[in-house]
Structure formats: structure tokens, C-alpha cells
Amino acid sequence: MRRSPSRVIGEMDRTSTRGPSREGKLSARVLKQISTEVLSAAGLSQADAELVADTLVQADLWGHQSHGLLRLQAYVARLKSGAVAVHGKPSLVRELGPIAVLDGANAMGQVVAKAAIDLAVERAKQFGIGAISVRNSNHFGTAMYFTRLAARRGCIGFMATNASPAMPPWGGRTKAVGTNPWSWAAPAGEHVPMILDIANTAVARGKIHLARQRGEQIPEGWALDEQGASTTSPDAALAGVTLPMAGHKGYGIALMMDVLAGVLSGSGFGPDVAGPFQSEKPGRVGHFVLALNIEAFISLEEFDQRQEELIASIKRNKLAEGAAEILYPGEREALLADTSAKNGIDLPGETIAALEVLCAEYGLPEPHHSSRE
């Protein structure tokens, strides 16, 4: 029998039951059920709600809480305001062999991104390569959720997206360029897929939101305040600017990703892009998706073998002082996901409180505050 949100939230471990400081653990299954029901109540179809919920929970499993359930309340606010089209469905507006342009119809970013990666893989299987340009989308969470889908289907996947302004141009001090993250994913033989997912800022802006939610300071070098001074305050950082990674290199990469995702697609770019915490402005987010069919270049069996050899060569490296293990991109997330799947996901108290508020708002049964049964 399907259990109500009040029942499953009651399965949490909590250190306290008062205010946003309380924290607790939920299983991935419980979190997905709660968030699916909330998103369905906000108007999404069951299939779309399940997809969005899965992306959020998977981010939390991977340890990327900046893109996990922390985002749910903001997503719901955008659905309620009409900033995101509840029933939006992506459609083809242009195609030429392996190339296609997809209009996201202002749907949830996850719905658009899934359609884009599926189309890219489909074209790659037919032509060896699939290149999809996407306009009129929204924030979609972690890019690696979608590039991983290409890797599972025998492709190398790439995805870039633009984002609302967060960093200054090199030499500037006001927001002008988005974090504009990008991801690559590839099969790795007997290992979990090799996946790289990075923003071009010193840190993903969501991690500053997470630090604010936890009442923590942020490290030096992440951000500047409104006066252009370095800050360790997440509130000051959110009011100011996030710094690029690797100085001018991060700024340059971010700008080029906006060319790929925004300018090329016909979508918004630069200051025209709205972020997930802007509750009433359509996102106008653009994406660029690429899939390479490995079998068009080399047999998948040989590719896997060569990937295993590459990983082995990396892991044979002598450990630096203080290092316990050498990991390849995506391996850390896979290990964390295994642990969290077994032990439950730790959530900040404010995220738990937001889940309770959302359940109450949509007439879902009031969450219990008891400890795990």
C-alpha cells in the first residue's frame, strides 16, 4: 500500500524537532515519494514529477546537496507563478541529419534535458554523432544525471547549459556571466561511468545557498560582496558575485559555454537568463547536448578495455602525502551514492522544514515529527 507523506517523513532520524536547525535522515525511496507527490500536486504530470524528483534525490545521493531537495521549494514557486510551463512539452523546430534544434516550451528543465539527451543518443546511433541545441528551457539540476544516460547507452555524452548571471567578467565586479556548467560522461568497462560535472565558478552557487541554509561560513576565494571585497558570509556572497575558477580561464570557459548553450540555440544569454530562485521570470535557459556513438569509432568492447587500462594507470600513481586513494571523475559520487542508499540521506533542517511546508500547502497529510520507527 502506498504510504502518505506524513507516514514516510515520520521515518526520519532527527536530532531535534524545533525550527530549521533540526536535521534528519530519509531513505532515497522516501524522499522521491515525497517530492513526486509535491510536484504532482503543483501540477506536473506523474511522469514529469517522477523525473524531476529522481534528479533531485540522485543529486543528494551523490553528495551534491546544492542541487538536491534544497531546490524543491524554488521549483514549486516557479510552477505556481507560471514562470515554468506546467504542461510544457519540448518540440523539434529544426533538424538536419545528426543536428536538431529543440524548443523546450518553457517546461521544467529536467523534462527538456531528458528529451534532448534521448534525441542526441538516437541521432548518434543513426549517424555516429548527435548534436542538439536547446532553447527556452529552465534549470535542470545536475548535468551529470543526463550525460550518464548517454554513457549507459554506449555513447560519450556532453551537456552544457547557461545560467543566470553569477560571476563578473574578468576585470569586472558585477554579475554578468553565469556559472554555465558542463558535463562529460563515458562508459568505463567494469567500473562505474567516468563523469565530469563542473561549474566554471570557484564553486557552484547552490553550495553557497546550502552554506547559508546550514548557518555555515564559506571559504575565502569563493565570492566577493557587493563592495567587491572578499567575503566568507554566504548572505554577502549571494548579494555579491561568485568568483570564476582558475581566474580568467574559468571566466573564458563560462563565456564560451554561453555561446554554445545560449547564443547558438536562439535562447537567452547573459543577463536574459533567469535562475531557479527567481520565482516569476521565465528561465530562457539554453543547452547544448552532444552524443558520440562509440561503436562508430571503435568497438565498445575495445573502448571499455582501454578505459579500464587508463583507470588502472591513474590508480597506480604514488599517493601524495595525506591522500588515501586516487579516484577518477564520477567515482566519488558513486561511492557516496552507495553509502547514502544504505544509510539514508542527511538533510539540513531547513530542507526538512521546507518539505513539511510544501506537504501542508498542497493538502497532503501533515508530517509527523517522531523519530524513525
Residue ranges per structural domain of the chain: 5-81+344-361, 91-201+244-296
* 91-201+244-296, CATH topology level: Ribosomal Protein S8; Chain: A, domain 1 (3.30.1370)
- What per-residue confidence (pLDDT) applies to 205? 79
Domains 5-81+344-361 and 91-201+244-296 share a fold: no
**Cell digits of residue 150:** 548517454
Rg, C-alpha atoms of the chain:
21
**Cell digits of residue 26:** 530519509
- What per-residue confidence (pLDDT) applies to 5? 42
| Contacts made by residues 94-97, CB under 8 angstroms, sequence distance 24+ | 97/123, 97/127
Sign of CA dihedral 296, 258, 101, 47: positive
Backbone angles phi, psi at 365, to 5 degrees: -55, 140
* Angle formed by the axes of helices 109-127 and 144-152, nearest 10°: 30
Residues in the chain: 373
Say if residues 112 and 134 touch (Cβ distance below 8 Å): yes
Closest alpha carbon to 177 in 273, 265, 249: 273
- Maximal C-alpha separation, the chain: 59
Backbone angles phi, psi at 315, to 5 degrees: -75, -15
5-81+344-361 belongs to which CATH class?
mainly alpha
- What per-residue confidence (pLDDT) applies to 8? 42
Say if residues 206 and 70 touch (Cβ distance below 8 Å): yes
3-state secondary structure the chain: CCCCHHHHHCCCEECCCCCCCCCEEECHHHHHHHHHHHHHHCCCCHHHHHHHHHHHHHHHHCCCHHHCHHHHHHHHHHHHHCCCCCCCCCEEEEEECCEEEEECCCCCHHHHHHHHHHHHHHHHHHHCEEEEEEEEECCCCCCHHHHHHHHHCCEEEEEEECCCEEECCCCCCCCCEECCCEEEEEEECCEEEEEEEECCECCCHHHHHHHHHHCCCCCCCCEECCCCCEECCHHHHHHCEECECCCHHHHHHHHHHHHHHHHCCCCCCHHHCCCCCCCCCCCCEEEEEEEEEHHHCCCHHHHHHHHHHHHHHHHCCCCCCCCCCCCCCCHHHHHHHHHHHHHCEEECHHHHHHHHHHHHHCCCCCCCCCCCC
From the candidates 139, 209, 287, 368, which is the catalytic residue? 139
Tell me, yes or no, if 287 is annotated catalytic.
Answer: no
- What per-residue confidence (pLDDT) applies to 347? 87
pLDDT of the chain, 373 residues: tens digit per residue: 344 444 444 444 433 333 444 556 789 998 999 999 999 999 999 999 999 999 999 999 999 998 999 999 999 999 999 999 999 999 999 999 999 999 999 999 999 999 999 999 999 999 999 999 999 999 999 999 999 999 999 999 999 999 999 999 998 888 999 999 999 999 999 999 999 999 999 988 788 988 888 889 999 999 999 988 999 999 999 999 999 999 999 999 999 999 999 999 999 999 999 999 998 999 999 999 999 999 999 999 999 999 999 999 999 999 999 999 999 999 999 999 999 999 999 988 888 899 999 999 998 764 443 333 3
| Count of beta carbons in the 10 Å neighbourhood of residue 27 | 19
- What per-residue confidence (pLDDT) applies to 365? 62
Q: How far apart are CA 168 and CA 170, in angstroms?
A: 6
Where does residue 323 rank: exposed (0-12), middle (13-18), buried (19+ CB within 10 A)? exposed
Cα angle: 45, vertex 50, 53; to 5 degrees: 120
* pTM across the whole model: 0.89
| Count of beta carbons in the 10 Å neighbourhood of residue 313 | 9
Q: How far apart are CA 210 and CA 63, in angstroms?
A: 12
* Angle formed by the axes of helices 28-41 and 349-361, nearest 10°: 40
